[in-house]
Structure 1
Amino acid sequence: MSKKLLLGIIVVLLVTNIASLLFWNQEEKVVISENENAEINSREPVASIAGEEISYQDWMEGLRTAHGEKRLKTMIDRKVVNHLAEEENIEIDEKIIERDIAFLYTMQGVMTEEESAVEEARWRDDIIYRYQLEELLTRDTSIPEEELQNYYNRYGDQYNFSSSVQLSHILVNNFETAEKIVAELEEGASFHLLAREYSLDEETKNNGGYMGSIYTSSQFLPNSYETIALEMEDHSYSEPFRAENGVAVIYLHKKLPSIEFTYEEIKPYMESELALQEIGQTLTADPLWEQVEVEWIYGE
């Protein structure tokens, strides 16, 4: 890529993503949150503390000074890695992406279906970027086959993902109460609030019945819950069923299947990981910039 073309890309990024925040915005009404469609008047103060005002222009200048360089560098890093990955035809196996997304789900709290879709798209971009960056940084470093085989034999299981379910539940004494709960759910009632009202499980009721993400092999997942959950769709609730400690209604937030890798499937990613450790390279795109002759407003 020529210096002139890349500089053009950087200018477009700067104009479209940073300049819109700067004080030379002449519009009185400025959207500050697309999700909430919130607007402010750029000619009025954005805050007042004991009568002392903070202007919109001062706020924007503070944002530019504190975050402008960091944000622009992040955008350039993404463009550099994407450009080099396309040049070298570096593609990330979908199975790897799905495994990492599954791990991320187990670390999240409750999300709506819409929130899950947004987060998953963001995670996917981050995962692809990370693995492409890792491969680009280590492409000139090889790990002996014997060392890779030994490492896989010892640690190969850590690359697999065990099936899990993310659940909430409402536990009651009888089917009559459980059926009443389902009737309220069908009318649009909140599972979270119904759990707080009806559930007998003191450990989860105050959190809307949320049990967390539980591996299906875990002893903490009742057998009856696993059987029912595996037949359900994500973001749905069950009919009442007899559970170990009463009658339950469960809500399945997310069901994640097991993902296992053969040696050949995981080998390229394992090799990049070990190579990164061997050369003592941090996961940063800085060393790649010179390969596309980056020029930007903060320096060479």
Structure 2
Amino acid sequence: MTRQEKGLWVTVVVLTAGVLFMGSWILFSGAVFQDGKKTSKDTPSVVASVQDMPITEEEWTSELKKRYGSEVLMTMMNRQVVELEAAAAGITVTPQEIDQELERTSQGYESKEIFLQEMEQQLGLTEELLRAETSYRLTLEKIATANVKVSDAEIDQYLEQHPDQFSPKKQLKLSIIKVEEEWEAEKVLDRLENGEDFASLAEEVSIDEYTRENGGYLGFVEEDDPFQPEALMEMALSLNKGDIAGPVQLDDSYGIVYVQDIQVPDKVDDHHIRETVRKQLALEQSVSLSELESQLRDKYKARMMAGIPSEQHNN
């Protein structure tokens, strides 16, 4: 997964997580619990204060409803209608399927475990939440493609037209130091040759805002990553694990690259490749997932009651 794809995927999960969290909160906001007992709504529960001026739970919930109420309700309705349709069609998603999808999604990280740790530490997303969202999406995809038939001939044709799509791609764990002038890069190389630490130097002199605070760490990059400068990748691919080289001229700077590790994934199983293509082609022939959600809401008569501004829930 490229850096851009990773960012998009995380954004989707974060938004979904936020909506689900707010939905849970709004759903149970009519009462609070103290010492294991439910207290009356008539007893204001203070959740924050500013100069001793209280902000009550009721005020907080009211503001959440005004800002996000329609999105929360839409998400909750979508979950319920998809669950109803899956039950009616006998569609299930197994834990193994969720595991496989998380493995695919975590590509671009050093491991699935590191991916899960990063999601929780940086974004507060637990593995349970990620698995729930993955299960929902896989269920929706199965519903969308349930009646779509893809022949073996179509799969063969696709593989012939895209011979490199499923070839194992070398991944390089890279760090980089960027400076404005070539002479600055030469000075950095001299300091590295004299034993200074790459990460410390990156924090000190690199002009790359994305990597500088992490000691120049760029992450695992696929050998044909289209978002990385071609000159940078050409140099990195010519190096061995542990090598540092430069300067390499980039668009507006000069770079010094450090190849921390090189990984070559195992060849993907042929059956898995064919099933992946089958699913991809089926999704291309089916209705979009957002349109499917809309159709299912109509089928199961999911409606928002009066009081929700119509411009908020046109979906």
Shorter-chain TM-score bucket reads: 0.5 to 0.7
1:115 corresponds, among 118, 122, 127, to 118
Measured in 2, the distance between the counterparts of 1:129 and 1:95 equals 14
Q: How does 1:121-160 map to 2 (within 5 A)?
A: 121=127, 123-155=130-162, 157-159=164-166
**SS of the residue 1:195 aligns to:** helix
Q: Is the Cα contact below 8 Å between 2:172 and 2:259 reproduced in 1? A: no
Where does residue 234 of structure 2 map in the other structure? 219
Q: Which residue of 2 aligns with 1:18?
A: 26
Question: CA shift at 1:102, angstroms?
Answer: 1.1
Change (3 A) 1:62 1:220: farther
Give the TM-score taking structure 1 as reference length. Answer: 0.55
Higher relative contact order (CA 8 A, sep 6+): 1
User: Could you tell me which amino acid in structure 1 is paired with residue 236 of structure 2?
Assistant: L
RMSD (Å), alpha carbons: 4.8
Whether 2:202 is the aligned partner of 1:195: answer: yes
Cα drift, residue 162 of structure 1:
2.5
Task: Name the CA distance, whole Å, in 1 between partners of 2:265 and 2:305.
Answer: 46
Distance (Å, rounded) in 1 between the aligned partners of 2:238 and 2:274? 36
Q: Which residue of 1 aligns with 2:102?
A: 97
Q: Where does residue 244 of structure 1 map in the other structure?
A: 245
Work out the CA distance in 1 between the residues paired with 2:216 and 2:46.
43
1:59–1:28 distance in 2 versus 1, CA, 3 Å: closer
CA–CA distance in structure 1, aligned partners of residues 201 and 63 of structure 2 = 45
Q: Return the alpha-carbon distance in structure 2 between the equivalents of residues 19 and 68 of structure 1.
A: 11
Which of 53, 57, 71 does residue 44 from structure 1 map onto? 53
CA contact (8 A) 1:169 1:195 kept: yes
Question: Residue 227 of structure 1 aligns to which amino acid in structure 2?
Answer: K
Deviations 1:74-111 (A, max 9, x none): 244345546727943333274443123215x59xxxx9
Matches within 5 A, 1:62-81: 62-78=63-79, 81=82
* AA at the equivalent of 1:17: W
Deviation at 1:137, TM superposition (A): 1.5
Q: Separation in 2 of the partners of 1:173 and 1:95?
A: 46
Determine what percentage of the aligned residue pairs are the same residue: 19
1:210-240: CA deviation from partner (whole Å, max 9, x where unpaired)? 435422574242654x513xxxxxxxxxxxx
Q: CA separation in 2, counterparts of 1:268 and 1:112? A: 25
Instruction: Tell me, yes or no, if the aligned pair for 1:222 and 1:244 is still in contact at 8 Å.
Output: no
In structure 1, C-alpha distance between the alignment counterparts of 2:126 and 2:59, rounded to whole Å: 35
DSSP-derived class of the 2:234 partner: coil
Change (3 A) 1:163 1:21: farther
Distance 1:278 1:263, change over 3 A: same
Deviations 1:174-193 (Å, cap 9, x if unpaired)? 468535x48xxxxxxxx4x6
What's 2:91 paired with?
Answer: 88
**Structure 1 residues 147, 216: closer, same or farther in 2, change over 3 A?**
closer
2:293 alignment counterpart? 285
Q: Which runs of 5+ in 2 are unaligned?
A: 1-20, 32-40, 178-187, 225-232, 248-255, 307-315
